Structure 1
Amino acid sequence: MTQEPVRYLLSKYWFLAVFILLLCTGCSVTKTVPKNDALFVGYNVKVNGKDDSSNRAGELETELSATVRPKPNLSILGWRPKLSIYNAFYTEKEKGISHWIMTKLGEPPVLMSQVDTSSISQIMSNRLHNRGYFNNRVNSTTEVNNKKAIINWTAWVGEPYRIHKVEYTLQDSLPVHQAIEQEQDESLLRSTEPYDLTTLTQERVRIDAVLKKRGYYFFSPELLIFSVDSTVGNRQVDVLLRIKNAASAKALRPYTLDDIYINAEYSLGDSLAVRDTISVNGYHYIPNENYVKAKHLLRGMFLEQDSLYSREDHLLTIKRLSGLSAYKFVNIDYQIDTLNNDKLDAFVFLTPALKKSLRAELKMVTKSNGFAGPGLTVSFNNRNAFKGSELLNVEFTGNLESQVGGGGSGRQENNETSAQNSNLSSYELGVQTTLTLPRIVSPFQLRNLRTEFVPKTRIGLGFNFLNRTNFYQLNSYNASYGYSWRPKQILTFDATPINLQYVRVNSSEVFDSLLRVNPYLRRSFENQFIIGSIYQTTFSTQMYEDRTNTFFDRLTLDLSGNLISGLSSLTGSTKPTDDEPRTLIGQAFAQYVLVDNDFRHYLNIGEESQLVTRLSTGVGYSYGNSSTLPFVKQFSVGGPNSIRAFRARSVGPGTFNDTTSRALSYFDQTGDIRIESNIEYRFPIAGFFKGAVFVDAGNIWLLRNTLDESGEIVRPGGKFEAGNIISELAVGTGFGLRIDVEFFVIRLDLGIPVRVPYLPKGERFVLSDFNGSFSGDYGMVLNIAIGYPF
């Protein structure tokens, strides 16, 4: 048996999975519901706000819906998969495979008797009261049909109470009272706005934050008391603010910083007593020159002697020091100075991380084009390479692939081509060294940026060797110098002004024969320099996990050859002929501009489900010294992180299809333009097992046609035509299983081709040819990968 085992089993027994699915869907969802009970299948919350001028009915309905507990069983388009599994394998036995499936993969029915409607109604009423609807009323009704229950809640709210005035009852002239009064213009409480308890709470937090900036280290929001007088009339309230009478004297006193101590080699459990120190720029530094030098630590210090204590400076210092790779924990403690009650001494404790680490990852590469083989990655990290918290990473990679069987969802090949493609193999070796410095290293004097995140300088140097047996050997050398900084949490800028790459190809006679008849391929595989710059902007709100909608967008601009071309023009250098490029030390250099954008939207549905959409577009234009983009810069689609119903890099360009080239299933299909879109619904199954259904679409195109020596178009149908975009998209669908254990994800995605762009018009939809196996031109494609696709 030459087929990979997992694919073989799935191709032979896929019908068994379908049978189990049909078994589950065939069971009545109320099968295990007790006689005098009903299955809780849904609820509706309606806010009657016809008399509410604030027009917040939709907002209130969302808030009240969140109070309903328990929630109905998980439902996907009306089907309740976990409940269906529970019912299909229901057993009263406490052991056995049925019990395991029922309890681990299934979910018991959520019963009507478990829903306390009166308690939920009271909670809803309290929520409305907190939003200013003091005279609200909430009722519920239950509809039961065929042992399925739906609960309807209706809330009558009327007009909310509004703020008449806000008074700060501060009776004396303490500095803390003056500080509060000076910030009244920034108050969140405004006259005529609806009363809202949440806003009052936020106002307390705002005032506390203001005071923390002004030295009030011991103050807390709990010391602020709001009183609400609703007897004003006309649905209005007066809001009164005061400070607790029991507030301590130190809570009402601003503090300045006195001595600042830095222990840069603190271990958990060590004594907090201050040892012998040396003075460095006004800081008391405990010597540890064997670890991180003081001058590098002080770039992250924003606490200064004789300045007012500021919570902002405190948090900024912690975040900047935590961004140093040499440390795993950062803590700052404050104590009242023993000689002056108005001053604080600050103690900064930094706990070093493990300096050196070695990690090895062994993987099995399995591709849908029949290639498989082992891969090994060994990574070495030194988190304090030169005593400045520099992170040195050296990564060695090795991959071996051999053709062990045929692959589906590739291009059509004749018998001669299939025979030629046998016994193909390749191996790849590489080393990449990256040095990351937690500071900007520049020929220009730059001030220390006051940002939460450490600005970084990155220096890279690497080599990669790819050998495709009987065809070519590709040697790639790279060097880069760039910067990365985050002005805010959601935004990252990466600038690599120096990006160098040299590609050298050693080809066989067989490959040379392919190059002679394919000018596009020949120019793509030229020995050449890539000398340019890369600029990248990343916007992401994915860290806000409590939001319903989060976004990710990465825009990349890649420029090459312009500086060298300009210098060549100044020196009078010209192209020998129209077909031959100018050279740099005897080698051609690439000249192009490339723009790439990856946009993603994450819609959180319920507590664990998610709908992810993605649009990835890119275009590269070669000019001047180049007639095509370098092979390593060209776009491709297909594979585990792209269109999963087609093997990696097998789609396009456009409608191009070559059924005669021996190299077809061995070399990538690439182009100048990429348009790709994906939509994936992710849902929980049980424990760390998660599922997904997806649809992928996309293709690549050429900006211009290339002619061979006889004047024929080399890849007919590959040129981009705006009016043909939709009809030339490759489309695939499928479903996936993910084993998500938090620190890594193993992903198995089964792709099914829907539309094949290189078939004749009218024959491109191939779903009717699907036979449920991996065999055939349009069979299923199994993608095995680590991590989510996007």
Structure 2
Amino acid sequence: MFAVIPVNFIFRKLAIVTVAMVLLLFSGCAGTKRIPKDDALFTGFTVTVKGDKDSSNRQKVIKTELAGTVRPKPNFSILGMRPKLAIHNMFYTEKEKGIKHWIQTKLGEPPVLISTVDTGSVNEVMHSRLHNRGYFNNTVQSKTNIKGKKATIDFTAFISEPYRIRKVTYTLADSLPVHHDIQQAKTESLLIPGDPYDLQTMTAERVRIDANLKNKGYYFFSPDMLIYSVDTTVGNRQADVLMRLKRDVPGESLQPYTLDDVYIFANYTIADSLSVSDTIDYKGYHYIPNENYVRARHLLRGVFLEHDSLYSRQNHLLTINRLAGLPAYKFVNIDYKPDTTQVNKLDSFIYLTPSFKKSLRLEGRYVSKSTNFAGPGITLSFRNRNAFKGSELLTVEVTGNFESQVGGRGSGTLTEGQTTVSKNLSSYELGVQTTLTIPRIVSPFELRNMRTEFVPKTRMALGFNFLDRVQYFQMNSFNASYAYNWRPKAKFTHDITPINIQYVQLANTTDVFKELLAENPFLRRSFQDQFIVGSMYQFTFTNQMETKRTHQFFDNFILDGSGNLINGIQTLTGADDPEDEKPRTLAGKPYSQYVRAENDFRYYFNFGTESQIVTRLLAGIGYAHGNSTVLPYVKQFSIGGPNSIRAFRARSIGPGTFEDTTRTTYFDQTGEIKLEGNIEYRFPLAGFFKGALFVDAGNIWLMNEVRDENGKVDRPGGKFESSQFLNELAIGTGFGLRVDVEFFVLRFDLGIPVRTPQRNALSDFKFGFKGDNSMVLNIAIGYPF
């Protein structure tokens, strides 16, 4: 039995909890409640670098580096307040268990006392850091300022012109091959005469040389086998740098190694005895034990270790990444051992631990959408990670959803000529989707194996979906596709779908829906039975995997087309020209012809501790031509909702300044042009609680006006006008609370409408969640962008 809880009751309770959290976070923010009598709260510090004679222009970088050496750090603060400390004081308890203890220790933070800051030690660390940067003659001073129960510290570093590198010498007169290989890479040295002395750069130079040697066969070499001697007595603040090999380096580290035997344990577990008696020799590889799990010819596409080739760290990492990307395996490890019969030879051992081959997952959910539809859903997923002994991933998903409209989108008032207002709309959806992902490129042409750390994939999909919008229509849709996915580098992803087929069939329409179609020619053409036969290309660029970058970017471009090739062939074969009411057909059914492009660009500016400003610009355009006069309904743009303009419900904006006064359906809130911009400030609150402030703006438009049989303009104001579109943007703002526990993000965004495409929304803003121009609460999983 399920109890039905009124939505307003939930919102009311949520508002009370929110207010309580705010009061909790900002009460007691002074944080001096539990400070000992002869101590003070360490509230902050400053770092000043004084170097008028320093010409290296590194003061900002050095200031940041020195600030990072201060220990301990002051309590977390935001806008001068310390919410974590406030929680600690509010829930302080001597007990070591219970809910108060959990909140105090997990969400709170004890006061950082000035007595715990050893300024002498911090000064020494700063002095050492400056020395490593070439400031051999530097002084660091600190001053503690105590006012009442609060204290701050001012650190001041006095520097002058740093020592600079005069020349770099490599003592490599030995005849060993390693000396020759180091000399060959000297032109790429990070140590450049004239640059300031920098220990960090010198360390990086050793790592660079080691990486270069690792790719030339020096398996046993390591960076600490190289040492420096620095002479700072040459005068004029200059230093001569000498790099050489240690005298006691083992002989095996100074010789390149080649690979001899390569053993592949294709079904390895920790309990294996590693016997090689049951072995298949395939193209020079020893494949153990047999091909009952993954066939050798498929697995070797991810192996870049070859017999008689030089050992290479690059090939080692490439092999690990490619094999780890195969669904059939969960762990990959590669080990090397010197060959017992040959000098300077290594035997390679590749250990592959299989994943669970088959899995069955049942997922239940209750969905509440911004369109006011809510209801339960269920998904049954089957996975086979090695379907045909080639590490192919076969997935079958069966989905069922039931949704019912729990409230109107607007006032629900009757308009002239309208006899009823639809209430309690219900929707049923059943679908099955089968996808086979092959970890290689399957093509009629012979393609060379790509040297990329990411597994190239071929994806085949086949699916069916049935939708029953009870009071309006039923819809059957079929889809089939054949696609390729590959990533030449970590930042770039290409996804091309040369074959993309969909068939949409409208069935069992009600009289109410037929009346809507009769009144709206644009909607009628969007819902007609039709094939979508074409191709799709998607390109993605991102550097978000570089987590330490201040500036991160993401860009996703999609180009989608349908019917162009078929229409061209039919034109060449002399088919009749298409007409609005008599389009060309495929298998007796019309097909869509269009070109559609969409680009999603995002910029992430990271600063402070976990703080971020994120901007997004999303633009799309679709053009129907030839055999079609409008885009298919499933290809049109819509706007609004939890991942779009959050102050407006999904599909409730546009096109243009058009306003749906009936508020009984949302079928025609779509367009052929889309423009959306977002800016969001994200900041930490306490523990895994994050906050956000955002502003969203955007709209959709029609490319051309659509008129009915009587010549009346359908959806007036919906056409895109270059001189007016900025005045037609819907604008919303708001704030959000996110529960971010790393692997899961629960998001609450409260949107407030500022402007609709027609008018200023703040003039008649309604506090609450009912009716137009009111607040919208978006509850979602994951960040919006």
Q: TM-score normalized by structure 1?
A: 0.93
Q: 1:598-617 maps to which residues of 2 (within 5 A)?
A: 598-617=600-619
The alpha-carbon deviation at position 99 of structure 1 amounts to 5.9
Shift of 1:102: 4.5
Aligned counterpart, 1:580: 582
* Residue type at the aligned position of 1:778: N
In structure 1, the residue matched to 2:628 is 626
- Contact 1:542/1:550 (CA < 8 Å) preserved in 2? yes
Alignment counterpart, residue 295 of structure 2, candidates 272, 293, 296:
293
| Offset at residue 775 of structure 1 (A) | 2.2
Quote how far apart the aligned CAs of 1:779 are.
2.7
Report the equivalent of 1:676.
Answer: 676
Q: Would you say the 8 A contact 1:411–1:650 is kept in 2?
A: no
The answer to whether structure 1 residue 498 and structure 2 residue 494 are counterparts is: no
* One of 743, 756, 776 as aligned partner of 2:771: 776
Residue 502 of structure 1 aligns with an amino acid whose one-letter code is Y
Query: Aligned partner of 1:182: which letter?
Result: Q
* Structure 1 residue 88 displacement after superposition: 5.0
Superposition pairs for residues 605-754 of structure 1, below 5 Å? Answer: 605-660=607-662, 662-664=664-666, 667=667, 669-754=669-754
The answer as to whether partners of 2:430 and 2:467 remain within 8 angstroms in 1 is: yes
Cα separation, 1, equivalents of 2:743 and 2:598: 29
Query: How big is the shift at 1:686?
Result: 4.2
Offset from partner CA, 1:289-330 (integer Å, 9 cap, x none): 211111111111211111111111111111111111111111
Q: CA shift at 1:404, angstroms?
A: 2.7
Deviation at residue 4 of structure 1 after TM alignment: 5.1
Q: Could you tell which deviates more after superposition, 694-703 or 295-304? A: 694-703
Rounded Cα–Cα distance in structure 2 between residues aligned with 1:133 and 1:5: 68
Match of residue 425 from structure 2:
424
Structure 1 range deviating more: 344-353 or 541-550: 541-550
Q: Match for 1:359 among 345, 361, 372?
A: 361
Structure 1 220/97 Cα, relative in aligned 2: closer, same or farther at 3 Å? closer
Equivalence for 1:72: 74
Task: Name the aligned partner's letter for residue 567 of structure 2.
Answer: S
**Contact persistence 2:697–2:729 (CA under 8 A):** yes
Match of 1:764 in 2: 761
Q: Tell me what 1:377 maps to.
A: 379
Matched residues, number = 780
What displacement does 1:15 show? 5.0
Secondary structure, aligned partner of 1:399: strand
Which of the numbers 230, 241, 251 marks the counterpart of 1:249? Answer: 251
Name 1:442's counterpart in structure 2: 443
- d(CA) in 2 for partners of 1:314, 1:93: 53
Structure 1 residues 535 and 683: alpha-carbon distance in aligned structure 2, compared to 1, 3 A threshold = same
CA distance in 2, matches of 1:592, 1:35: 76
1:168-187 matches, within 5 Å, as 168-187=170-189
Contact 2:29 2:82 in 1 (8 A): no
1:786 and 2:781 are equivalent in the alignment: yes
Q: How does 1:17-166 map to 2 (within 5 A)?
A: 17-18=18-19, 21-22=22-23, 24-25=25-26, 27-32=28-33, 33-87=35-89, 101-145=103-147, 147-166=149-168
- Aligned counterpart for 2:239 among listed residues 233, 237, 240: 237
Q: Partner of 1:180: helix, strand, or coil?
A: helix
Deviates more, 1:417-426 or 1:134-143: 417-426
Structure 1 residue 536 displacement after superposition: 0.8
Structure 1 counterpart SS, 2:22: helix
Distance in 2 separating the partners of 1:652 and 1:80: 44
Change (3 A) 1:418 1:534: farther
5+ residue gaps, structure 1: none
- TM-score where L is the length of structure 2: 0.94
Contact 1:49 1:55 in 2 (8 A): no
How far does residue 98 in structure 1 lie from its aligned partner after superposition? 6.0
* Aligned position for 2:483: 482
Matched position secondary structure for 2:601: strand
Q: Distance in 1 between matches of 2:497 and 2:635?
A: 16
> Are residues 571 and 167 of structure 1, via their aligned partners in 2, closer, same or farther at CA, if it must alter by over 3 Å?
same
* 1:575 match: secondary structure: coil
Question: RMSD between aligned alpha carbons?
Answer: 2.5
Match of residue 346, structure 2, among 344, 347, 363: 344
2:234 is paired with a residue of what secondary structure?
strand
User: For the residues of structure 2 that align with 1:349 and 1:20, how far apart are their CA atoms?
Assistant: 52
Residues 94 and 454 of structure 1: CA distance in aligned 2, closer, same or farther (over 3 Å): closer
Shift of the alpha carbon at 1:521? 0.7
SS in 2 for 1:420: coil
Opposite residue 251 of structure 2, the aligned amino acid is A
SS of equivalent residue, structure 2 residue 547: coil
Q: CA deviation at 1:725?
A: 3.3
**Distance between the aligned counterparts of 1:307 and 1:536, measured in 2?**
37
Asked if 1 retains the 8 angstrom alpha-carbon contact of 2:730 and 2:755, the reply is yes
Would you say the 8 A contact 2:761–2:773 is kept in 1? no
Distance 2:90 2:374 in 1: 38
Measure, in 2, the Cα distance between the counterparts of 1:6 and 1:233. 79
One-letter amino acid of the counterpart of residue 231, structure 1: T
CA deviations on 1:221-272 (whole Å, 9 max, x unpaired) are 1111111111111111111111111111111111111111111111123223
Aligned to 2:540: 538
Distance in 2 (alpha carbons) for counterparts of 1:150 and 1:692: 29
1:622 partner letter: A
Change (3 A) 1:453 1:16: closer
Alignment check: 8 A CA contact 1:655 1:757 kept: yes
Tell me: CA distance 1:106–1:262, structure 2 relative to 1, closer, same or farther (3 Å).
closer
In structure 2, C-alpha distance between the alignment counterparts of 1:2 and 1:571, rounded to whole Å: 64
1:665-692 deviations in whole A, cap 9, x for unaligned? xx36111122222233334444444333
Question: Counterpart amino acid of 2:677?
Answer: S
Q: 1:29: how far off?
A: 1.4
Q: Residues of 2 paired with 1:84 and 1:727: CA distance?
A: 45
Task: Confirm or deny: 8 A CA contact 2:29 2:81 kept in the other structure.
Answer: no
Determine if contact 1:613/1:680 at 8 Å carries over to the other structure.
Answer: yes
Decide whether aligned partners of structure 1 residues 27 and 322 sit closer, same or farther in structure 2, where only a CA change above 3 A counts: closer
1:195 match: secondary structure? coil
Cα distance in 1 for partners of 2:318, 2:511 equals 62
User: Once the 2 structures are TM-superposed, how far is the Cα of residue 61 of structure 1 from its aligned partner?
Assistant: 1.7
Larger displacement relative to structure 2 (624-633 or 570-579): 570-579
- Take 2:468 and 2:350, find their aligned partners in 1: how far apart are those partners? 53
Q: Give distance in 1, aligned partners of 2:5 and 2:721.
A: 39
Give the letter aligned to residue 504 of structure 2.
V
Give secondary structure in 1 for the equivalent of 2:714: coil
Matched residue type, 1:714: D
Greater RCO (Cα-Cα under 8 Å, separation 6 or more): 1
Tell me the amino acid that sits aligned with residue 461 of structure 1. Answer: L
Q: Separation in 1 of the partners of 2:705 and 2:118?
A: 69
The 8 Å contact of residues 640 and 784 in structure 1, kept in 2 or not, is answered as yes
C-alpha contact (below 8 Å) 1:3/1:405 kept by paired residues? no
- Measure the CA separation in 1 of the matches of 2:63 and 2:423: 63
Could you tell me how far apart the structure 1 residues matched to 2:720 and 2:252 are?
Answer: 72
Describe the shift of the 1:689–1:14 C-alpha distance in structure 2 as closer, same or farther (beyond 3 A): same
CA gap of 1:23–1:191, structure 2 versus 1, over 3 A, is: closer
Query: Any idea what the Cα deviations from partners look like across 1:631-651, whole Å, max 9, x if unmatched?
Result: 101111111222222222222
Name the SS for the 2:379 alignment partner: strand
Task: Note the C-alpha offset of 1:139.
Answer: 2.0
Matched, 1:307 2:303: no
Give the superposition deviation at 1:707.
1.3
CA distance in 2, matches of 1:737, 1:770: 22
Query: Contact 1:646–1:732 (CA<8 Å) still a contact in 2?
Result: yes
Does the 8 Å CA contact 2:580/2:629 hold for their aligned counterparts? Answer: no
Whole-angstrom distance in 1 between the partners of 2:641 and 2:56: 51
User: For the residues of structure 1 that align with 2:76 and 2:65, how far apart are their CA atoms?
Assistant: 20
Residue-by-residue CA offset, 1:741-767 (whole Å, 9 max, x unaligned): 333333333323232224xx3x3335x
CA contact (8 A) 1:30 1:148 kept: no
The aligned counterpart of 1:596 is: 598
1:101 Cα offset (Å): 4.7
